[in-house]
Structure 1
């Protein structure tokens, strides 16, 4: 049995249409190290469960590991009202719409229409001799359906669809990245505000202490036991403490305004109640570096951008080969609207009204070559950007791990410094009251204990911020119920008051 030539030709075209000229896509091998340089021990799981699924899955409410109800509420407000996150979400919708638009090229384009045309033909265009009498103008009514379809013979459409699909996935990954960054920024500002509140507690107690000291020195001056120099120094120390407290309040106001903007609110509509920082002691295992490539949304976005540029190389290559556009129309034509839909008025047209079915590019002055070179260069650029993003991810994890390790030791040492300076201040104060030392000694001891206490508070704030940074660097995750913290209390707790 002989197969009709038309059927055979269509079968060949269909098979060839499944081909794509895009290079075979491979994710570059980054040769991830076996472990992080600063990784915690295998038994340091704490209360943290790292993100297990790949990028397409959610990041989870990782901030709940801190056990801060106020932070939970702020994160929910930010996810609902932040303008930057809304912009990223709109970009995802744009990418999805572009993917649907590009994917529509895989299907025929069908349209229908109804309407008249008014025309007058020259005799020569009708193939009749020119007798000097021109034909009358003619009105023709048409009701017809049109169809067109590009045979994807060399994968131009398939490569375009693959690129659009990768663009859409990149937009989703970037949305996840923006969301994760927003959550981390909210947590950072939250802990920064609480750190400043803790500093203000220290400053306020220092002001009370120095006011009491000024009163004591003034009484001794009135009694003639000390000179006016001691009283002037006590007044200067009190004024300095008040000025430092004002600086802290100014920084707190700016941080509160920044948090309001993250929540999508005007600063005038947001107030954060003073809440001194409590110690944050969480041990976050980093896991394996190789898993970071699946968990970081920014790395996933860079990988999808690389896939899109690879697919567009196929689009540029397909421009060197013939394109086949199948078109047709069918319907009715008549001189009057009443006769349009008569069976005798039917008409059809197979093939383009203007041009040809098969188009083969011959010369374009180097346009196709330039487009192909540009597509390949963009792919190389995206590969370099992907490699750079992976290295940035590794660096950020290592930075956070080392910061947490050193901060843990530093806070312990700083606590010892606070205890020692507190004892020294107590001894100096007792000796001054006995008249055995000058007032300068008590001033120096008081400055040392204040600086040590403030430094301890700030180290606790840095520790909380470094913990947030590590979670963000790891790509987020889920948290179980947080384990009770065994961290020593801060200086504002009753267990370690400022000296009086």
Structure 2
């Protein structure tokens, strides 16, 4: 190929790639820290100690078991390995390609005297080819696969963070169900005592059978709460075992719900903690990959220059000495008319890049919302728990007064019955409020991409 034709081919292909480079939509701008994610480096792992802030070694052990055995995390790690192999394959396209060939041949013929002759020969050769990649088509494609690798690592960390959060939330829910079961059993015991008193009073003729039947109905109503809570506990244990990657079975208990620590949240946590969110990193790298793929598609419209060469030997019984041969050449491939295929591919790449940009903006806005929702959840659920605790204490005092008045004959059984029902409702609501508050802490850790360190707290304090 005459390399002097290269300028002409470049000029012929120039109209196919004229026009400004399509930019990302202006709507993708997000109010975020200026050094979004980059200061921490790509693929930073999720913090591995935030669940220890609840002060329960059993919870810590469950999370670690889940991060070791969960099949979803194993599948995510396998996808990372696949992306890593794709990146190596793309990087190999930038290197020269060398092939070795050693064909052999054998020919038989008859000479004029009718004697058969055999002629053997071989032409071993080494050939090499190299794409000069003048306009960065291969380099941009490799950059796209590298960004896809980082995005897959972000997806893996997202799964990891989700598993840890699910285990922590599931364990808190399990301890809340244990507390509900304890409330149901304590209430059943008190209702059993009330039923015993009502039966004795009815048998002595002090009261009518109406109070006896009311007490028995209230006892049966509370009795059904026990198997209901036990069923919920069994299902929650199986759900946790699934997260652990294990067969259904019991879960070892640790700290009670009321004894779990509420992590301290410093005022004014820096917004750049959101850079630790792996889903944002994944969306960012997906945008980078789409942008680099667009560059590669646009570079495909330009001429492509390749160099080829071969070196070999000719060996034959007809030759007294081997004969060395070599060749060196170049080829230029330039798209002149392809029916608009390359232009359509570039337009599709630009559309995919715009989709990734909007997806990144959506992920960033969702991150801000989740943090704000989690902070509000921690604060409001705590206020709700305090209010319900006050209600529970007041109803407990009212039940004592109603029980004393009923035994002394100053009030009817209905006063005691109404107070018992109100106290049971308040105790169950208090258990749920405490669980919701701790679950809100888990959601806050997840929203911040794995929590905050003591250094972050000290920086805020200064």
More helix by share: 2
The equivalent residue for 1:249 is 230
The equivalent residue for 1:397 is 371
The CA deviation at 1:265 is: 0.4
The equivalent residue for 1:409 is 383
2:43 to 52, 56, 81: 56
2:350 is the counterpart of 1:350:
no
Residues 314, 222 of structure 1: alpha-carbon distance in 2 compared, 3 angstrom cutoff: same
User: Contact 2:46–2:161 (CA<8 Å) still a contact in 1?
Assistant: yes
Distance in 2 between residues matched to 1:73 and 1:173, nearest whole Å: 24
The CA deviation at 1:142 is: 2.4
Deviations 1:146-172 (A, max 9, x none): 111111111101101110111111111
Distance in 2 between residues matched to 1:364 and 1:118, nearest whole Å: 45
Distance in 1 between residues matched to 2:412 and 2:107, nearest whole Å: 114
The CA deviation at 1:56 is: 3.1
The CA deviation at 1:275 is: 5.7
The equivalent residue for 1:495 is none
Residues 479, 237 of structure 1: alpha-carbon distance in 2 compared, 3 angstrom cutoff: farther
Map 1:452-467; keep pairs closer than 5 Å. Answer: 452-467=426-441
Distance in 2 between residues matched to 1:455 and 1:391, nearest whole Å: 33
The equivalent residue for 2:153 is 172
Deviations 1:409-445 (A, max 9, x none): 1111111100110111111111111122221211110
User: Contact 1:312–1:375 (CA<8 Å) still a contact in 2?
Assistant: yes
The equivalent residue for 1:77 is 65
Distance in 2 between residues matched to 1:410 and 1:59, nearest whole Å: 31
1:314 to 295, 311, 315: 295
Distance in 2 between residues matched to 1:118 and 1:391, nearest whole Å: 73
Secondary structure of 1:477's match?
Answer: coil
Residues 117, 22 of structure 1: alpha-carbon distance in 2 compared, 3 angstrom cutoff: farther
The equivalent residue for 2:181 is 200
Residues 443, 113 of structure 1: alpha-carbon distance in 2 compared, 3 angstrom cutoff: same
The equivalent residue for 2:247 is 266
User: Contact 2:56–2:254 (CA<8 Å) still a contact in 1?
Assistant: no
Distance in 1 between residues matched to 2:107 and 2:191, nearest whole Å: 101
The CA deviation at 1:348 is: 2.3
Residues 348, 286 of structure 1: alpha-carbon distance in 2 compared, 3 angstrom cutoff: farther
The equivalent residue for 2:171 is 190
Distance in 2 between residues matched to 1:290 and 1:103, nearest whole Å: 36
Secondary structure of 1:91's match?
Answer: helix
User: Contact 1:188–1:465 (CA<8 Å) still a contact in 2?
Assistant: yes
The CA deviation at 1:286 is: 7.1
The equivalent residue for 2:134 is 153
The CA deviation at 1:331 is: 1.2
Secondary structure of 1:149's match?
Answer: strand
Deviations 1:242-273 (A, max 9, x none): 211211111111111111011110114x5334
Distance in 1 between residues matched to 2:120 and 2:333, nearest whole Å: 34
Deviations 1:124-164 (A, max 9, x none): xxxxxxxxxxxx99865221111111111111011011101
Aligned length: 426
User: Contact 2:273–2:449 (CA<8 Å) still a contact in 1?
Assistant: yes
Distance in 1 between residues matched to 2:267 and 2:248, nearest whole Å: 36
Bigger mean CA offset, 92-101 vs 465-474: 92-101
Distance in 1 between residues matched to 2:94 and 2:189, nearest whole Å: 77
The equivalent residue for 1:86 is 74
Give TM-score, length-normalised by structure 2: 0.85
2:307 to 326, 329, 333: 326
Secondary structure of 1:106's match?
Answer: coil
Distance in 1 between residues matched to 2:287 and 2:55, nearest whole Å: 39
Distance in 1 between residues matched to 2:236 and 2:190, nearest whole Å: 28
The equivalent residue for 2:460 is none
The equivalent residue for 2:95 is 107
The CA deviation at 1:58 is: 2.7
Residues 287, 375 of structure 1: alpha-carbon distance in 2 compared, 3 angstrom cutoff: farther
Distance in 2 between residues matched to 1:391 and 1:140, nearest whole Å: 72
Distance in 1 between residues matched to 2:292 and 2:21, nearest whole Å: 5
User: Contact 2:59–2:254 (CA<8 Å) still a contact in 1?
Assistant: no
The CA deviation at 1:281 is: 2.6
2:433 is the counterpart of 1:448:
no
Secondary structure of 2:344's match?
Answer: helix
Provide structure 1 residue ranges, at least 5 long, that are not aligned to the other structure.
14-20, 35-51, 121-135, 482-500
The equivalent residue for 1:214 is 195
The equivalent residue for 1:477 is 451
Distance in 2 between residues matched to 1:383 and 1:155, nearest whole Å: 23
Distance in 2 between residues matched to 1:205 and 1:274, nearest whole Å: 21
